[in-house]
Amino acid sequence: MDRLIIEGGTSLRGAIRISGAKNAALPLLAATLLTEDRVRLSNLPHLHDITTMLELLACMGVEAEIDERLGVQVDNTRMHSHTAPYELVKTMRASVLVLGPMLARFGEARVSLPGGCAIGDRPVDQHLRGLEMMGAQVGIEDGYILAHSPGRLKGAHIPLEIVTVGGTENLLMAATLAEGQTIIENAAREPEIADLARCLVAMGAKIDGIGTHRLCIDGVDQLHGCDYQVMPDRIETGTYLVAAAATRGTVRLREADPSLLEAVIAKLREAGAEINEGEDHIELDMQGKRPNAVQVKTAPYPGFPTDMQAQFTALNAVAAGTGTITETIFENRLIQVGELNRMGAQIKLEGNTVIVSGVEKLSSATVMASDLRASASLVIAGLLASGSTIIDRIYHIDRGYECIEEKLQQLGARIRRIPA
Ligand code: UD1
């Protein structure tokens, strides 16, 4: 397995381009199943999870033509299977997003249950409950979700019992082809859901309330192809901003959308960063200062994103003062603590909160990546540590950060990949 080696101690300086958003691209790829026409998606990030989704579509007979300009044209006219197999779903939970589109268009779907993962149980009960409310018969057999709909799905009033991103996306996609009107209450408002909704509208769907807690979808008989550009990755943007702030650097991130990062930017300003927001870029300057510790509590959008808390733990580790990070979305998502402490951080875990007493410097160690965002916190810690940090199992990082070592090198970091 590949490893990353980081010689710490350099402030990040320079400019890089932000990639398309993984968490928008995955549901968008699933949405291509809603039409028999070709759909062309551009600005796709070059990531492991995207490859997994394309493999999943391929094993069902969907053809994807990838061009050199980060675009993919998806054609499912030769689709021959409605089964998403365990071997692929187990490696990426977002595979379950093919359930709603397949059921809505073909009246049947067989999708492996995603099972647990490093950051908690993560059930899909809300996805299944919503589909049942739309008239689907849903059962579990041999570890697979078997969903069936005699005729079209029926529009329904679906109050979600918890705010779920994937659940909202699955039901939104299914509702576009249902008969009549569907109202999803307590919908998640993450910008990636709005991106998906805008693409569905470009495919002919009728959706009201985009970006709100109440999505109202008038089902149509069929959707058509479209050309759609994936939004910028707000979590990648936030991660580089935090890395720059923690290393007392100054960066400019191009092709980003700062308007999607309000909660993160507010915390970085509190930490002492000077931030300039443009329409399609963002600049951060720490003016060489040590960051101040900040208090963070995760919440559904527009609250502070759970996908950014691990990076702020690394920032607090070297900040002036004591900061706390409270995770409210996932159980067991504070797994960065052990490895950061091995690098000299002073972090205590109390229930779903970490209490971080900032130290002047971290020290290098060999550490192991355990999940995507926890891994990002180890990279930031490596940039801060004196000496040479080795990060093992970086396939977690490759799932969500495009060319991380190249982008960091562009910002002056001393980082390289050692292939297995
Ligand atoms: C998505 C993101 C992930 C992010 C998360 C929260 C993608 C591909 N992934 O994950 O990066 O961290 O949103 O912003 O977009 N839950 C249930 N029942 C359900 C569904 C969810 O109990 O049917 C629980 C989960 O266990 C979790 C919480 O709800 O505790 C939030 O999960 P959800 O919003 O669904 O996250 P994902 O869509 O899996």
pLDDT in tens, the chain (420 residues): 899 999 999 999 999 999 999 999 999 999 999 999 999 999 999 999 999 999 999 999 999 999 877 799 999 999 999 999 999 999 899 999 999 999 999 999 999 988 655 545 568 999 999 999 999 999 999 989 999 999 999 999 999 999 999 999 999 999 999 999 999 999 999 999 999 999 999 999 999 999 999 999 999 999 999 999 999 999 999 999 999 999 999 999 999 999 999 999 999 999 999 999 999 999 999 999 999 999 999 999 999 999 999 999 999 999 999 999 999 998 878 888 999 999 999 999 999 999 999 999 999 999 988 888 899 999 999 999 999 999 998 888 999 999 999 999 999 999 999 988
Q: Which of 164, 261, 264 is the pocket-test mutation for ligand 1 (most atoms within 8 Å of CB)?
A: 164
According to the model, what pLDDT value does residue 121 have?
A: 58
* H helix and E strand count, the chain: 14, 26
* Closest protein CA for atom 39 of ligand 1: 166
How would you label 91-110 residue by residue, b for 16+ Cβ within 10 Å and e otherwise?
Answer: bbbbbbbbbbbbbbbebbbb
Q: Would you state the structure tokens that stand for residue 97, as one six-digit string?
A: 């997003």
* Closest to 57 measured CA to CA, from 33, 36, 40: 33
Which DSSP state fits 231? P
Ligand 1 atom, smallest distance to 192 CA: 15
Q: Which residues line ligand 1 (CB under 6 A)?
A: 23, 26, 93-94, 120-127, 162, 164-167, 188, 192, 306-307, 329-330
Q: Residue 29: in which H helix or E strand, if any? A: helix 22-31
Q: Residue 59: in which H helix or E strand, if any? A: helix 48-59
According to the model, what pLDDT value does residue 420 have?
A: 80
Going from the Cα of 167 to the center of ligand 1, the distance in angstroms, rounded, reads: 8
Helix residue spans in 134-212 (DSSP H): 165-176, 191-202
Dist CA 288 CA 301 (whole Å): 31
- Flag whether the pTM goes above 0.85: yes
According to the model, what pLDDT value does residue 335 have?
A: 83
How would you label 330-358 residue by residue, b for 16+ Cβ within 10 Å and e otherwise?
Answer: beebbbbbebbbbbbbebeeeebbbebeb
Q: Is 30 left (phi over 0), alpha (psi -120 to 50) or beta?
A: alpha
Q: Which of 59, 117, 199, 216 is catalytic?
A: 117
* Closest to 325 measured CA to CA, from 314, 337, 309: 309
Cα atoms in the Cβ-side hemisphere of radius 13 Å centred on 201: 14
Dist CA 137 CA 393 (whole Å): 40
Ligand 1 atom, smallest distance to 301 CA: 14
Going from the Cα of 119 to the center of ligand 1, the distance in angstroms, rounded, reads: 10
According to the model, what pLDDT value does residue 55 have?
A: 96
**Which of 259-265's residues contact partners 24+ apart within 8 Å by CB, and which partners?**
260/191, 260/231, 260/232, 260/234, 261/234, 261/237, 262/302, 263/302, 263/303, 263/304, 263/305, 264/234, 264/238, 264/304, 264/305, 264/308, 265/241
Tell me whether residue 226 is one of the annotated catalytic residues. no
Omega within 30 of 0 (cis) for the link into 232: no
According to the model, what pLDDT value does residue 230 have?
A: 98
Ligand 1 atom, smallest distance to 23 CA: 15
Beta-strand ranges (E) seen in 241-280 are 250-254, 274-277
The full length of the chain comes to 420
* Closest protein CA for atom 33 of ligand 1: 164
* Closest protein CA for atom 29 of ligand 1: 164
* Closest protein CA for atom 25 of ligand 1: 122
Cα atoms in the Cβ-side hemisphere of radius 13 Å centred on 266: 12
